[in-house]
Chain A
């Protein structure tokens, strides 16, 4: 079992060092602590977490497109400490127009492919990344597929016993709220 006290102390330290940079704090439903920070202070906070607060692993780096709510990407950095066995999530809200973030590859080499993946799927550019190009999609691909305004391309599917062709969206249930 990990040491949850460590996260509390780490959050207090980050708050003490960068009081103006933190815009929100939340415990997400699976019990992880999440800090919402400003883009400008992101790299400093990550460096602080790595070098002084024992978060020695960048465990995950990914994003979500909140287009239907607000014109922002939510980028999360999931930090993990192998000495204390705890995780801390750091979230940045990033405007959808011309998204740009500082690269974390100098701190953790594992950020390399994560950032390339985000560039590929969301078009987020990372300043200072050594080799920012598409990773999973072909190099000549146009558009960034995981953006909400990039629609799922469809082709008609022949279903057995159905005379007319149907599009997948006609078969997939509609969105309910």
Chain B
């Protein structure tokens, strides 16, 4: 018996030697600093080359979709904040819009403007984490520190409006939680002024840096057809030269009223994604400035939804514990999150709890395409590829 096994083993070694190569399986993650969370990649290596890659996910699965079915409509908002924890406001935006569509109401103009402004600030904060950690992956630790400094200013703004830094639960069905505090607009203006300067600094530090370019250019290349096949959206798609953005294609909230460009790059590699995201931050600043210039006065919660009003709907609000009833039906709303297109499918059965809340999370879809980016490249570039996709594992695993 043992002799047969030895013979088999010798046979295998001999054939491997004839081929001159032997592959090795390497487990990257789930506890690895460069996988941006608990992502696990099982890599098959031939020397330094990755020949096969299989992502394993689910380490952060918390069953949020199941939990949502047991909560009233407003109790869902703090839950979904925990999914894409770097841009919670985009989660809230998608969910709140979907429920508003079911109810057939629309938030007042001031609330819509505030939502757009907070979402764009959230996008900048999220991209700053991507830039900082992506740079840290390549050992540029100074950029990491600078980015987190600016992100901290945005989190301070979130704290001003809602009292919470990372999970603001600020959007409500029909409006926002409360009006902007005194001095908030000046604080945003100050941030925009400061960040413009810092943004140029990051460009100076990285964009023409030869090491940064060598490590990013031509790495993790995707084509347009691959993006369509794998349903990739967001900066990854725009870095392949497709000017597609939900804010433009299916405008929601107050976005049609603001001017912004869709930055695209033709190359489809990690460097193109870097350039796209950098330009997106600038466009977000533009939108924030326009909101501040045009911010209308008025109510922040849809008519009849204020607790003080005497209309029929305010009955829902007298029993916050009971929640409110939503007429049966379903709605699918997509919003543009920093990682791509976020879809919310909310199904109501007429009760005070949703029958189903489905999140089409962009990180989940993007993580599926990781083998395309990693296979065929060097293992050192796998780290760059993961960083360029910018997965948030809370969003992947839900």
Contact = CB atoms under 8 A, between A and B. Distances in A.
Binding partners A and B: yes
B231 A62 contact: no
B349 A29 contact: no
Interface in B310-365: 321-323, 325, 329-333, 341, 343, 345, 347, 349-353, 355-356, 358, 360, 364-365
Interface residue tally on A, bucketed by range: 35 or more
Contact of A85 (B65, B66, B249, B325): B249
Contacts of B343: 59-60, 78
Contact of B251 (A1, A29, A56, A177): A1
Nearest to A32: B332
A30 B230 contact: no
A58 B360 CA distance: 12
Nearest to B58: A136
Contacts of B345: 60, 62, 76
Interface stretch (B35-43, B97-105, B157-165): B97-105
Contact of B356 (A31, A60, A65): A65
Nearest to B55: A113
Interface residue tally on B, bucketed by range: 35 or more
B349 A68 contact: yes
Interface stretch (A11-19, A37-45, A155-163, A168-176): A168-176
B397 A28 contact: no
A64 B101 contact: no
Interface in A65-90: 65-66, 68-69, 76, 78, 80, 82, 85, 87, 89
A136 B65 contact: no
A175 B353 contact: yes
B67 interface: yes
Given A62-B345, A82-B228, A108-B231, A28 B242 contact: no
Contacts of A59: 231, 341, 343, 360
A177 B355 CA distance: 12
Contact of B351 (A62, A82, A175): A175
B351 A113 contact: no
Contacts of B341: 59
A54 B352 CA distance: 39
B172 to A, nearest CB: 17
Contact of A135 (B57, B71, B321, B365): B57
B170 to A, nearest CB: 22
A169 B331 CA distance: 27
A152 B66 contact: yes
Contacts of B333: 30
A109 B147 CA distance: 36
A66 B251 CA distance: 31
B283 interface: no
Contacts of A113: 364-365, 368
Interface in A89-144: 89, 108-110, 112-113, 121, 134-138
Contacts of B349: 68-69, 177
B247 to A, nearest CB: 11
B250 interface: yes
Contacts of A57: 228, 231
Nearest to B357: A64
A136 B356 contact: no
Contact of A29 (B70, B75, B104, B360): B104
A164 to B, nearest CB: 20
Contact of B71 (A78, A136, A172, A177): A172
A146 interface: yes
B229 interface: yes
B244 interface: yes
Interface in B94-147: 98, 101-102, 104
Given A56-B228, A78-B332, A136-B58, A146 B368 contact: no
B61 interface: yes
Nearest to A58: B231
14 contacts: A31-B101, A59-B231, A60-B332, A60-B345, A64-B358, A89-B332, A110-B365, A135-B58, A136-B397, A145-B63, A146-B66, A168-B70, A169-B70, A177-B350
Which 8 A-B pairs give the minimum distances between C-beta atoms?
A30-B331, A64-B356, A110-B231, A136-B58, A29-B331, A60-B360, A85-B249, A136-B61
Given A59-B343, A64-B358, A110-B231, 16 more contacts: A1-B249, A1-B251, A29-B101, A29-B330, A31-B101, A58-B231, A64-B347, A76-B345, A82-B244, A85-B250, A87-B332, A109-B230, A113-B364, A121-B65, A145-B66, A177-B351
Interface of B: 57-58, 61, 63, 65-67, 70-72, 75, 98, 101-102, 104, 228-231, 242, 244, 248-251, 321-323, 325, 329-333, 341, 343, 345, 347, 349-353, 355-356, 358, 360, 364-365, 368, 397-398
